Structures are given as structure tokens and as C-alpha cells.
């Protein structure tokens, strides 16, 4: 594990333990891009890109980018039985379910609201590592878990919290996405073959995701390959491919450096940037209940993740 850097602010050193400046930079990068991704989904879905095609070309397109990166800089995917098992097991919850849910929900609730719900990932991840006995019970973290649930309730229960009351059911359904992504985060550690590169793992997972999504696209009748006059939806598709490649390309390296629980610090950043991108791109405005939910979720994530060194799993075994 890396040693703390003198250039890292004292408060962050206490929060993130011995996290290196590189890991901090990657966490910040993925947080900003993940926040943007919620808005890209909304643009693509409202501009007529079919869901099946959107998932398929994201997976295969990002796999091509990551394979090219690995070929140039080193780190091509392995194809042993253990590698293939890991790719498929991570791709199903981490991309097919979570990415698919994010795209499906995108037209139904504001991007900023989904960013708040998605920030449940650190809390769900803590529940999973606790269940798998990869982490000891921590009373403060349990309080954070309860506060995170309270944050979602602030979005759902007050009549004036959401632009339309009908959105409340979609907020509840959208929790499936962060739950699946939290599961994939734990699997990124437990199913990663020894000696595999981060770029190679990202490419392998995206290749598996695209190949799984391809027959789903055909079955849904969602064939689309940049059809029609070039427009906003086409650009959103390109943006989704690039952002997905970056997110998954860096994700395995971040998990390797800091472990799965502190990796979810990305979602701390993504909630804030996701709200910001939603305001900037769509002009979204939020009620006081929503901002209260943001504050409660920030406290919840801090409590769940704050003991950095104790939270880190052995990702180099």
C-alpha cells in the first residue's frame, strides 16, 4: 500500500488513511465523470437511442477503447477460466443491471435525484462486506447506514420533495442500480485473478458486458447503430462510450490501491457533481427536502467510510 504524501491535506489523510496522490486524483476523476454520466444517460434516452443498443454499444465500444489502451501501454486481458468467470460475474451486476437501470430510469427522474440515490453505494457496499465478513461491525458506520436510508426517505415521503409525486416509485426502483454496483465492487476484489492488470480487467469486463447485451438488444428489437441524421443522441452515445471506458478503466486500479469500501468515495463526489451537471445541462431545480437529503447523505457516507485504514481490504493477495 502507498504511504501518505505530505502534499495531501491533513483532513483527507485522516479520512483516507495512506491513500496516494494518484489514488486521490483517480477518485476525483471518476467522481466527476460518474456524475456527468447520469446526465448523458438522460440525453441519450430522451433523444431516442434505444436502451438495448445503448447498452450494447457502450460495452463493445468501451471494450475497444480499453483494448487499444492496453495494447499501447501494456495490460491486455487474460482469458483463463478464472478471468472469464470474473469478467462475466462482474459485468452482470456492474454493467447489465446497474448501467441498464441507470439508463432506464434516466428519463423518469431528474439526473440530480438519481445522483443522490446512487450515493447509497458506499452504504450498500458496507453491508455486503459486513455480510461477507470482510469487515468488522462498526457502530458509527451503522449509524451512517441508517442516515443514508433516511436520506432516500426524504426524497420519497414529503409531497413537495420531487417535481412530480409519481417519481417516488421510480426513486424506489432506482435503488436496484446502486445495489448491483455495490455487489460488483466487492466482486472486483474477490474475483480478480492474481497478476491481472487493471486495464486488462476493465477491457475484459466491458467485452463481456457488450457480448451479453448484444442478444438482449436483438431480443428487445432495439437494433440501432447511429441511424438517422446525426444529432444530440448520437453525440450522447459517443460520450457514453468514452466515459464508460474511462470509468471502468480506472475503477480496477482505484480498487487495487484503496480497496472496495474507499473506492465508493467516488460516489461521494458523483452525488455532488451529478447534481451540478443536472443543473448546468437541464436547468434542474430542487426543493429544500432534496437539499436536506443531500446533507444527510453526505453525513451518512462520511460515517460509513471515515475509518480509512480499517476499511481497506487486502487487494494484493
Q: Read off the pTM.
A: 0.79
Instruction: Please say whether the beta carbons of 56 and 209 come within 8 A.
Output: no
Q: Which residues contact 144 (CB under 8 A, 6 or more apart)?
A: 123, 126, 299, 300, 301, 302, 303, 304, 305
Residues 229, 232: Cα–Cα separation, whole Å: 10
Quickly tell me which residue has 465523470 as its cell. 33
What's phi and psi for 195, nearest 5 deg?
80, 0
Nearest CA among 188, 315, 263 for reference residue 29? 263
| Nine-digit cell string for 61 | 465500444
Instruction: Please say whether the beta carbons of 36 and 277 come within 8 A.
Output: yes
| Strand stretches in 45-130, DSSP E | none
Q: What is the pLDDT of residues 191-228, one digit of tens each?
A: 998 888 888 999 999 999 999 999 999 999 988 989 88
Domain ranges of the chain: 20-311
Cα angle at 88 between 72 and 242, to 5 degrees? 45
What pLDDT, on a 0 to 100 scale, did the predictor assign at position 93? 94
Q: With 80 as the cut, is the pLDDT of residue 16 above it? A: no
Q: Which of the four pLDDT bands, split at 50, 70 and 90, describes residue 65?
A: very high
Instruction: Please say whether the beta carbons of 275 and 286 come within 8 A.
Output: yes
Mean pLDDT of the chain: 81
Q: What is the pLDDT of residues 252-296, one digit of tens each?
A: 888 888 777 677 778 778 888 888 888 888 888 877 877 887 787
Residues 135, 125: Cα–Cα separation, whole Å: 11
What pLDDT, on a 0 to 100 scale, did the predictor assign at position 35? 86
Q: What is the pLDDT of residues 119-169, one digit of tens each?
A: 777 778 777 777 766 566 677 777 777 777 777 777 766 666 677 777 888
Nearest CA among 250, 255, 252, 260 for reference residue 311? 260
Amino acid at each position: 500500500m502507498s504511504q501518505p504524501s505530505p502534499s495531501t491535506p491533513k483532513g483527507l489523510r485522516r479520512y483516507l488513511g495512506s491513500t496516494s496522490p494518484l489514488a486521490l486524483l483517480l477518485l476525483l476523476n471518476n467522481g466527476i465523470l460518474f456524475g456527468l454520466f447520469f446526465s448523458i444517460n438522460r440525453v441519450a434516452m430522451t433523444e431516442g437511442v434505444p436502451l438495448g443498443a445503448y447498452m450494447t454499444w457502450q460495452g463493445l465500444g468501451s471494450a475497444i477503447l480499453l483494448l487499444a489502451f492496453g495494447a499501447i501501454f501494456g495490460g491486455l486481458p487474460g482469458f483463463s477460466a478464472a478471468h472469464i468467470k470474473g469478467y462475466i460475474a462482474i459485468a452482470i451486476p456492474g454493467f447489465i443491471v446497474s448501467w441498464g437501470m441507470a439508463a432506464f430510469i434516466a428519463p423518469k427522474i431528474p439526473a440530480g435525484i438519481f445522483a443522490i440515490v446512487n450515493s447509497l453505494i458506499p452504504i450498500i457496499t458496507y453491508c455486503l462486506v459486513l455480510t461477507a465478513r470482510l469487515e468488522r461491525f462498526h457502530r458509527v458506520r451503522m449509524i451512517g447506514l441508517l442516515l443514508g436510508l433516511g436520506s432516500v426517505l426524504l426524497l420519497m415521503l414529503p409531497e413537495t420533495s420531487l417535481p412530480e409525486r409519481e417519481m417516488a416509485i421510480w426513486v424506489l426502483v432506482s435503488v436496484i442500480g446502486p445495489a448491483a454496483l455495490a455487489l460488483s465492487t466487492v466482486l472486483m476484489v474477490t474475483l480478480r485473478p492474481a497478476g491481472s492488470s487493471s486495464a486488462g480487467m476493465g477491457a475484459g469486463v466491458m467485452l463481456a458486458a457488450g457480448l451479453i447485451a448484444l442478444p438482449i438488444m436483438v431480443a428487445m428489437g432495439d437494433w440501432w447503430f447511429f441511424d438517422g441524421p446525426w444529432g444530440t443522441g448520437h453525440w450522447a452515445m459517443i460520450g457514453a462510450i468514452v466515459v464508460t471506458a474511462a470509468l471502468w478503466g480506472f475503477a480496477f486500479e482505484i480498487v487495487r490501491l484503496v480497496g472496495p469500501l474507499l473506492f465508493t468515495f467516488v460516489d461521494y463526489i458523483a452525488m455532488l457533481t451529478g447534481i451540478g451537471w443536472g443543473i448546468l445541462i437541464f436547468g434542474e431545480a430542487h426543493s429544500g427536502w432534496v437539499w436536506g437529503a443531500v446533507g444527510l447523505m453526505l453525513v451518512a457516507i462520511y460515517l460509513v467510510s471515515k475509518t480509512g485504514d480499517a476499511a481497506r481490504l487486502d487487494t494484493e493477495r
